[in-house]
Amino acid sequence: MWRRSLTTSAGTTTALKQKTKWDAIVVGGGHNGLISAAYLARAGLSVAVLERRHLVGGAAVTEELIPGFKFSRCSYLLSLLRPQIIRELELKRHGLKLLKPMASSFTPSLDGRYMLLGQSDEQDRLEISKFSKRDADAYFRYEAQLQKFSKFLDFVLDSPTPEILQGSASTVDWLRHKLQRSKFWAQCMGHTISLGQKGTVDLMELLLSPTSKVLDKWFESTLLKATLAGDAIIGSMMNINTPGSGYVLLHHVMGETDGDRNIWSSFICRHVEGGMGAVSLAICKAAKEAGVHIETDTEVLKVMVEDSGRANGVLLADGTELHSSVVLSNATPYKTFMELVPPDFLPVEFLRAIKYSDYSSQGTTKINVAVDKLPQFHCCKINRAEAGPQHTATIHIGFESMEEIISACQDACNGIPSHRPVMEMTIPSSMDNTISPPGKHVISLFTQYTPYKPSNGSWDNAAYRESYAERCFNLIEEYAPGFCSSVIGYDMLTPPDLEREIGLTGGNIFHGAMGMDSLFLMRPVKGWSNHKTPIRNLYLCGSGSHPGGGVMGAPGRNAARVVLQEFKTRYQ
């Protein structure tokens, strides 16, 4: 495969060795690690970021896998990145260019009908009325409720958790910590009061209920319910009948970009010019401008820990020791504590909690496809070379009913890849002419469900892998005749590939499950939710920490705030 690196030439190992001690070393150059580094450097700290791969970005990367075709290899849309990060790090000045689709969601049906949403409120009402006039009215009330809940949760997303203070502390530190916790809960109570009792009960119902129950309460159209249910299963092996799956649905509509809230009719899942790697590159540029030193092709073998239980730097795979006042890990909690940290310094209960956390709930295989023409969906009854609104939208393949989603999930729970996978299909080249040759296109398939270890074969077997890719292509062919013959080539990342190449434990794109038992004060484990760890001076800044996964940036920003507070009170 051919690859195009979107990193900068960020220095040499020799330059890295020349500094006696850094204020902070960040392990892993994913978007959260880069964000933490940027905020720390802007506050005056000396910071180095160490990335194992040949390019920064983690799962948010652009790679030229086939000559002329540049794929957003893992993450594929920008919807959750916190607006204050875009603003504070001036990412647009550093090259971030967002592309707004003509429509948000397109769900074709084999019976010749389709639902195209996100062009305008009036058009949404007409589209939904084709299936149910009652749903057309309910849709906007549902949307308003999600928007209200999202605003409520903004405060939680953008704040470090009010964790109980661990270990011994001075009286001043204890009082300061108690004041901060009291302030958080007071603000939280204020937001709760603004919701009112009914709003609070409605929010709890959404957070704790199965997605199927939530959508059955609101709607009657099977196509609309299945379309909306798609966001409750992204990146998980979760069934829409699973209690708590409603939170995952809400999590994927909490983003806000350019002032647009990420709810269905004002859906702002944006493509990025140059692919998702351009997001990481813009953050990288902001970090470098602030003085961050970034090294790629640099693998961290161990976090060094003194006998006193304090982290004091890292050991590289080539034997080099780099010393620092603090270390931030952008790796998964499992990778950090089961592989990078000496186990002797960790409490037994903590290690057990990390070891048995749910990293295997991932059912996603990402397929990046190069094609020689746009797919033409037979339900649209239009055949033209230029892109239409349906091509710029998120296309839901196999989402005609919630029963189809449940069936696909059940296959994977039985140990086999779904017979009829459910897929989110996007065509970024329909808006971005920088990522494919003229007249040709890049297609992203986010497919579910695929078990990490299939019972009927192995992802290491080329024929087995190809059979799954063909299954996905043949399903698209049912909706868009001629798709299979348009395929020039493809790249596929199964859960083991995501673990091996990107470093995602279990292939889990969120660094761990996003169930209600794995969020807020319980992320990554109970008692250690505020980015601190049992190793003094070692912090978590990745998606395995609060508030969770997606290209959000909140874990990185929140972790930097915690570290800066510690520097203010202890290290200076």
Q: What are the tens digits of pLDDT across the range 548-571?
A: 988 999 999 999 999 999 898 775
Segment 126-142 shows an average pLDDT of: 96
pLDDT at 283 over 90: yes
Least confident range from 25-34, 309-318, 515-524: namely 515-524
- Any bridge partners for residue 492, and if so which? 367
pLDDT at 150 over 70: yes
Confidence category of residue 6, pLDDT binned at 50, 70, 90 = very low
Segment 362-388 shows an average pLDDT of: 89
pLDDT of 234: 75
Higher pLDDT, 405 or 168: 405
- Any bridge partners for residue 444, and if so which? 368, 426
Q: Most confidently modeled of 115-119, 144-148, 238-242?
A: 115-119
pLDDT of 269: 61
SS3 label, residue 544? coil
Confidence category of residue 13, pLDDT binned at 50, 70, 90 = low
Check: CB of residue 294 under 8 Å from CB of residue 29: yes
Quick one: 25 exposed, middle or buried, by C-beta within 10 A (0-12, 13-18, 19+)? buried
Q: Give this prediction's pTM.
A: 0.93
pLDDT at 264 over 60: no
pLDDT of 9: 42
pLDDT at 260 over 80: no
Please state whether the peptide bond connecting residue 356 to the residue before it is cis, i.e. omega within 30 degrees of 0.
no
Higher pLDDT, 568 or 533: 533
**Measured CA angle at 130 (ends 126, 133), to 5 deg:** 75
Least confident range from 150-164, 229-243, 527-541: namely 229-243
Segment 448-476 shows an average pLDDT of: 96
Check: CB of residue 373 under 8 Å from CB of residue 385: yes
pLDDT of 385: 77
Q: For the domain 13-59+278-357+512-571, what is the CATH code?
A: 3.50.50.60
Higher pLDDT, 13 or 225: 225
Please state whether the peptide bond connecting residue 547 to the residue before it is cis, i.e. omega within 30 degrees of 0.
yes
What confidence tens digit (pLDDT) does each residue in 94-115 have? 999 999 899 999 999 999 999 9
